[in-house]
Amino acid sequence: MTSYSLSTTLDSTPLKEHAARSLSFSDLGLCAEILHALNAAGYTEPTPVQQRAIPVALAGHDLLVSSPTGSGKTAAFMLPAIQRFAQMQRSDSVAHSAHARMSRRMPPARPALLVLTPTRELALQVTHAAETYGKQLRRLRTVSVLGGVPYRKQLELLMRQPDIVVATPGRLLDHLERGRIDLSRLSMLVLDEADRMLDMGFIDAIRTIIAATPSSRQTLLFSATLDARIGALTQRLMKSPERIEVTHRLEQSGKIEQSIHWVDDRAHKDRLLTHLLSDTLLDQAIVFTATKSGADELSSLLCSAGFISAALHGDLPQSARNRTLRALRERRVLVLVATDVAARGIDIPGITHVFNYDLPKFAEDYVHRIGRTGRAGRSGTAISFVHHGERSTVRRIEHLTRQTLPVRVIEGFEPRRTPSTPVPYKPGVHRRGVRTGVSARPNRRVFARQSGARF
């Protein structure tokens, strides 16, 4: 199984596994209001990361979690946060609101919980989760602070003095510098997908935001991978964090059926995709492309072929992106064509298939992509189209996931050029002078500078 470790300078040790018996949400010490909301939303039992993280967070400890996408990490930090607010008295907020109405100048919002996320879609997903889990707590207010939303509308939301703010770093920093948000009373800070935020170049914004928070705050950091960069960030902002590492769900359950198809060119991809989308077992699908223009073009092609498709990428207005995601949840869109960053945080139970129309450059992005299917214990299918020149990328994916990706060939869609038989993945075996036990991947620092353009 794949696991991740931190540099030895961290003052933390992994938590021990829980006992073999499965815990329930009530076993975790959550209040009746939260349990009722979870039951109404159809959540029956906590995932492994929730079982391990929630008790630690409720005890007030800083927490460092390595958890793959689709493992239930949002509830792992949001449920203990809402539990804390359920136990707090709100009497002073009424007086504060009255004072705000009497004041000509808008007082800054003073949230108790701040969640930082790398993308708008993930921020909206977290906000939706907070509203779901806190549905029985009428006075709990949650606000999203993110780009693509009219500034005046956000000011109106901040005037309501939210308890929870879910934000992308850039827009939050703008409000912070304008005095619209005051973090001096913050009791909990959550960094969700911290590795992705660092990849996107948000480190300076994160440092500025952290400097505006009290040192007494509780800090929870979640990341798909734990590397030296996360270790350095952790040393700066956390106090002896408890550490939890959860291996990739796809390795634990094997419920995502993965395969690759060798393709000759884009026309070959188009023919193969339209054929595979006609699979009777397919419910809803996400198709990943490398570029925004590619997403638009492919979505138009699929619509012309009779599929109910829509594109999702960073060039679309926020209102259009929200409409597309709503249509996907309501099954009015069956095939979503998306770029990597735009699809982060999407959690739609009906997604049965993920197609890598364009293979990602990073193996970690492959894991994030296919994690859009097979969620909450369901089975899923992940199919990747691979050009002959991308064999090294396949090797990196196999190295990260500790799996050999099987090659499928469909009669009538065979590639003109038959690639040489790939060497099966074996840890520690040399291949062309490169030891496979060492990660061989493109320069992530270079691609981080280009992330804005790709988004």
What pLDDT band is residue 95 in, cutting at 50, 70 and 90?
very low
The percent of residues above 70 in pLDDT, for the chain, comes to 79
Q: What is the pLDDT of residues 80-94, one digit of tens each?
A: 999 988 777 443 444
In which residue ranges of the chain is CATH 3.40.50.300 found? 26-246, 250-454
Mean pLDDT of 44-73: 87
Give the count of beta carbons closer than 10 Å to the beta carbon of residue 99: 10
What confidence score (pLDDT) does residue 100 get? Answer: 45
Residue scoring higher pLDDT (183 or 399): 183
Mean pLDDT of 228-241: 87
392-396, 405-409, 436-440: segment of lowest average pLDDT:
436-440
Q: What is the pLDDT of residues 141-172, one digit of tens each?
A: 999 998 878 888 899 999 999 999 999 999 99
What pLDDT band is residue 99 in, cutting at 50, 70 and 90?
very low
Would the pLDDT of 45 be above 60?
yes
Would the pLDDT of 436 be above 70?
no
The three-state DSSP-derived secondary structure of 416-447 is CCCCCCCCCCCCCCEECCEECCCCCCCCHHHH
Mean pLDDT of 188-213: 92
Would the pLDDT of 455 be above 90?
no
Residue scoring higher pLDDT (441 or 265): 265
Q: Which CATH superfamily is domain 250-454 in?
A: P-loop containing nucleotide triphosphate hydrolases (3.40.50.300)
23-27, 78-82, 98-102, 323-327: segment of lowest average pLDDT:
98-102
What confidence score (pLDDT) does residue 285 get? Answer: 95
Burial of residue 9, with CB atoms counted within 10 A of its CB: 0-12 exposed, 13-18 middle, 19 or more buried: exposed
Mean pLDDT of 3-17: 33
39-48, 106-115, 424-433: segment of lowest average pLDDT:
424-433
What pLDDT band is residue 344 in, cutting at 50, 70 and 90?
low
What confidence score (pLDDT) does residue 63 get? Answer: 94
Mean pLDDT of 103-127: 86
What pLDDT band is residue 355 in, cutting at 50, 70 and 90?
very high
Question: Looking at the domain that runs over 26-246, which CATH code has it been given?
Answer: 3.40.50.300
What pLDDT band is residue 208 in, cutting at 50, 70 and 90?
very high
What pLDDT band is residue 276 in, cutting at 50, 70 and 90?
very high
Q: Are 136 and 36 in contact (CB under 8 A)?
A: yes
What confidence score (pLDDT) does residue 322 get? Answer: 85
The three-state DSSP-derived secondary structure of the chain is CCCCCCCCCCCCCECCCCCCCCCCCHHHCCCHHHHHHHHHCCCCCCCHHHHHHHHHHHCCCCEEEECCCCCCHHHHHHHHHHHHHHCCCCHHHHHHHHHHHHCCCCCCECCCEEEECCCHHHHHHHHHHHHHHCCCCCCCCEEEECCCCCHHHHHHHHCCCCCEEEECHHHHHHHHHCCCECCCCCCEEEECCHHHHHHCCCHHHHHHHHHCCCCCCEEEEEECCCCHHHHHHHHHHCCCCEEEECCCHHHHHCCEEEEEEEECCHHHHHHHHHHHCCCCCCCEEEEECCCHHHHHHHHHHHHHCCCCEEEECCCCCHHHHHHHHHHHHCCCCCEEEECCCCCCCCCCCCEEEEEECCCCCCHHHHHHHHCCCCHHHCCEEEEEEEEHHHHHHHHHHHHHHCCCCCECCCCCCCCCCCCCCCCCCCCCCEECCEECCCCCCCCHHHHHHCHHHHC
- What pTM was computed for the model? 0.60
The percent of residues above 90 in pLDDT, for the chain, comes to 47
What confidence score (pLDDT) does residue 247 get? Answer: 66
Would the pLDDT of 14 be above 70?
no
- What does pLDDT average to over the chain? 81
Would the pLDDT of 364 be above 60?
yes
Alpha carbons 422 and 358: distance in angstroms, whole number:
20
48-62, 252-266, 305-319: segment of lowest average pLDDT:
252-266
Residue scoring higher pLDDT (96 or 24): 24
